[in-house]
Structure 1
Amino acid sequence: MPDDANDLVEGVWPHSAHRGDGGELVVGGVSAGELARTYGTPLQVLDETEVRRRASQLRAAFERAAQAHGTSVRIYYAGKALLNTSIVRWVLAEGLNVDVCTGGELEVALAGGADAAQLGFHGNNKSVAELERAVAVGVGTIVIDSDIEIERLAAIVSRTDAEQRVMLRVNSGVHAETHDFLATAHEDQKFGFPLDRAAAAVARIREIEGLVFVGLHCHIGSQIFGVAGFRESASRVLDLHQQLLAGGDVPQLNLGGGFGIAYTRADDPTPIGELAEGIVSAVAEGCAARGTRVPALAFEPGRAIVGNAGITLYEIGTTKDVALENATRRYVSVDGGMSDNARPALYGAAYSARLASRSGSADPVLVRVVGKHCESGDIVVDHDYLPGDLAPGDLLAVAATGAYCAPLSSNYNHVPRPPIVAVADGASRVIVRGETIDDLLARDAGIAQ
């Protein structure tokens, strides 16, 4: 139980978040009440300054670490976390490239002003049409995920007389989540090549005219705290890197992303500077032990850039107290739910909430924030403490919803998806239009036009 159920935990909320007049939540210089009156609720709010600040700090930290170890680094923003043309422009302005994994994400990145050469293209099942489009526009790097994809690309570059840079995604046998990691001989997942099959795949790529092999890619998980998993994975991939050098250059090593953030006061993510130095030094030490040159490095953070920059505003509709064995839990129902944030239902993800329209004056009560959907698993915040005087009509803000909430949103129960609004320097603007009931009905071919 917090000492103050109105506090805004540093690192969980955007740097600009604070309590204004009457205790109202203010983000990016705009109050929660003003946002709700202007755009309605539910509302996904993204602090543009926070996105830019985190992107810039992350790039600078990895550049310092890379320079200290005699190499270079390239940072790709992982578009799957949250992608729209505004975010593309922001991250490009801060010196990042963009990572996409579908044809749709590719088109959004291009529409946002990205040069195709600034893009990396992932995916375990890239279609022939997607690959043809990527080659045609000149995508900087395609990350190959299967033998079939090698042959698809071989046919495309042969037919179009194009040249395409490619990397090979490998499984290091290391899987990491938060502060724990599991190391095995093989990783049972859909992405990439096992280490013992990678050399043969690279040999095949190298013999195809038009494909230029530029390095290895490995991603070990998401929401990772600490560097131990990265160190173990890098060591295994560097063994393969050394082996491949006998057949030609391997100029790049992309170690993916997955850097963790704080969703609640219980989370203690590794500072970016410490993470950058720990990972890059592990690669440098591994190369020194093998007598090889440190390759150019790349990383693909997404959540670490946009996660804490986002909040979601809801209006409280009803409350009810449920007696438990040793306590009473207050169920707080809001006007959104699993349609705008599926992560608690999918993964049991933890979030934290605060009253946003005012500060509460009553003692804290144990709450569970739930949505309006016809599902018992429609939980937004499984447990938190909020002031006991919360009531219908109050605004509630859920922190750290910038990553994976909008991309995973749905129209379950025919609930329209909310708009995304950017705030900065006291101003707000819509960057993704919210849906309406008319939008939903427009897709129903059974309605007479």
Structure 2
Amino acid sequence: MQNKIYPETFHFQDEWKIDGISIKNLAEKYGTPLYVIDKKTLITQAQKYINSWKKYYKNKFKVLFAIKALPILEVIRIFYKEGLGFLVSTGGELFIARSAGVDSHKIYFHGNAKSIHELEYAIKENIGAIIIDNFDEYEKIKFLTDKHSTSIKVLIRLIPNIEVSTHKSIRTGQIDTKFGLPINQVYELIERIRKEKYIDFKGLHAHIGSQIFDISAYVKLAEVLSEIYNNLKSANTNIEEMSIGGGLGIAYTKDDNPPEIEDLAYQVSQKFEETIGHHFTLICEPGRSLVGRAGITIYKIESRKEIPGIRKYVSVDGGMSDNIRPSLYGAKYSALLITSNESTNTIYTIAGKHCESGDILIRDFEDKWPNYGDYLITFSTGAYNFSMFTWYNATVRPGVVLIENGKDRLIVKRDTYEDLLRGQI
């Protein structure tokens, strides 16, 4: 469990610590709930992607961090220094990436409902490429590039018609999806773009889903992309870049057995070598698998109760505001009680503090029975917890602390009550 779920530097040494820093001391210094990010784990994951593609893919490649997973300036800066590019899905994410100092050419912009204002922002910033999702978006880009007499590079997102074994809310490659175009429409759109003065077609994009454990789905995607590549080549259309998207899964519980990043690079590179060779720049777009394991969340136990013969409840000072995924689509997490003096385990449900019966973080959790004021950690919370935060019940957003070389540093301040009124009149 430890190797798959804990951050690299998380260990027990008289007490639970992360990179030598006491979890209890972090909670008392910064308050709870508290997001904690281990920098060493971030860098390790980034290097795994870069080194794996470098080892197996014989041409240029780009690793783009999907910043929707953790849109924090300091995290983006860390990955930028490691050589990663960035994938954004809104104008807001583009603004965050640029605010972090990212060169605009390192940014790709996807999404199924980009507004004309977002597209104009991306074109004015001269980003690396816009990933076109549909014909309406193409018309918006055509209007804007003609208006400003400015060129922009584009990829086209296609529907590969690949079903993956993951939750239906995070599947994106099946034929009935809001993302991308059927393959026959991709060909039609390419023909239109080839006639444009300011739209520069560069290649193809696909994404099959998230939290994927079966690499064979990516191999199948490589086959689909290879077939389209050959068809376009025979029609004298050059493909410079192709993206296999992101979505590689991580471990949330001891039963999860996600694939290795190197296995993804090896199998996909091998398939392309068999079909069309490595004659294009390959792009992958990890989010969760870069940041998920690096993050933990620290909570304080606020109350306990037992309904005889039914269930024991332990309630913490956070919940669906700082981690909506269990309530939204049943995501499972692992946890650890770190300060209880009890000697025997019991089974209870960890509940959040919000006014919803569905605000449950973990059902039927087994550990020591806690005392009020004890601290509890949930693991693998680096991805989507911070970015999906909600102000429900006027709950303030937790702070974020980065752990680096045995030191802790606040990188996002905890919200205040005054922040709850920001923008209100």
- TM tier, smaller: over 0.9
State the match for 2:3 in structure 1: 10
Q: Does 1:25 align with 2:16?
A: yes
SS in 2 for 1:221: coil
State the match for 1:189 in structure 2: 177
State the match for 1:3 in structure 2: none
Aligned residues: 422
User: Which one of the candidate residues 388, 408, 429 is aligned to 2:409?
Assistant: 429
State the match for 2:298 in structure 1: 313
Shift of 1:20: 2.6
SS in 2 for 1:308: coil
Shift of 1:359: 6.2
State the match for 1:105 in structure 2: 93
Percent pairwise identity: 37
Q: Distance in 2 between the 1:135 and 1:29 partners?
A: 46
State the match for 1:214 in structure 2: 202
Alpha-carbon contact 1:56-1:95 (below 8 Å) kept = no
Letter of the structure 1 residue corresponding to residue 361 of structure 2: V
Q: Distance in 2 between the 1:185 and 1:438 partners?
A: 42
Alpha-carbon contact 2:173-2:206 (below 8 Å) kept = no
Letter of the structure 2 residue corresponding to residue 241 of structure 1: Y
SS in 2 for 1:242: helix
Q: Distance in 1 between the 2:106 and 2:284 partners?
A: 13
State the match for 1:405 in structure 2: 385
Q: For structure 1, which runs of at least 5 residues remain unmatched after alignment?
A: 1-7
Shift of 1:179: 11
RMSD: 1.9
Letter of the structure 2 residue corresponding to residue 45 of structure 1: V
Q: Does 1:364 align with 2:352?
A: no
Map residues 155-166 of structure 1 onto 2, 5 A cutoff. 155-166=143-154
Letter of the structure 2 residue corresponding to residue 432 of structure 1: V
Shift of 1:425: 1.6
Q: Distance in 1 between the 2:317 and 2:358 partners?
A: 15
When residues 207 and 393 of structure 1 are mapped into structure 2, their CA distance, relative to the original with a 3 A threshold, is same
Alpha-carbon contact 1:351-1:382 (below 8 Å) kept = no
Q: Distance in 2 between the 1:20 and 1:40 partners?
A: 22
Alpha-carbon contact 1:218-1:256 (below 8 Å) kept = yes
Shift of 1:247: 3.1
Q: Does 1:46 align with 2:40?
A: no
State the match for 2:102 in structure 1: 114
Alpha-carbon contact 2:172-2:209 (below 8 Å) kept = no
Alpha-carbon contact 1:29-1:424 (below 8 Å) kept = no
Q: TM-score, normalised by structure 1?
A: 0.90
Letter of the structure 2 residue corresponding to residue 421 of structure 1: V
When residues 177 and 93 of structure 1 are mapped into structure 2, their CA distance, relative to the original with a 3 A threshold, is farther
Shift of 1:338: 0.1
Shift of 1:441: 3.1
Letter of the structure 1 residue corresponding to residue 324 of structure 2: A
State the match for 1:4 in structure 2: none
SS in 2 for 1:114: coil
Alpha-carbon contact 1:179-1:226 (below 8 Å) kept = no
Q: Distance in 1 between the 2:53 and 2:156 partners?
A: 22
When residues 227 and 360 of structure 1 are mapped into structure 2, their CA distance, relative to the original with a 3 A threshold, is farther
SS in 1 for 2:408: strand
Q: TM-score, normalised by structure 2?
A: 0.95
Map residues 220-231 of structure 1 onto 2, 5 A cutoff. 220-231=208-219
Q: Distance in 2 between the 1:121 and 1:223 partners?
A: 21
Q: For structure 2, which runs of at least 5 residues remain unmatched after alignment?
A: none
Alpha-carbon contact 1:29-1:423 (below 8 Å) kept = no
Alpha-carbon contact 1:170-1:193 (below 8 Å) kept = yes
Give deviations 1:116-159, integer Å, cap 9, x for gaps. 00001111111111111111111001100110111111111112
Q: Distance in 1 between the 2:354 and 2:173 partners?
A: 43
Q: Distance in 1 between the 2:124 and 2:341 partners?
A: 57
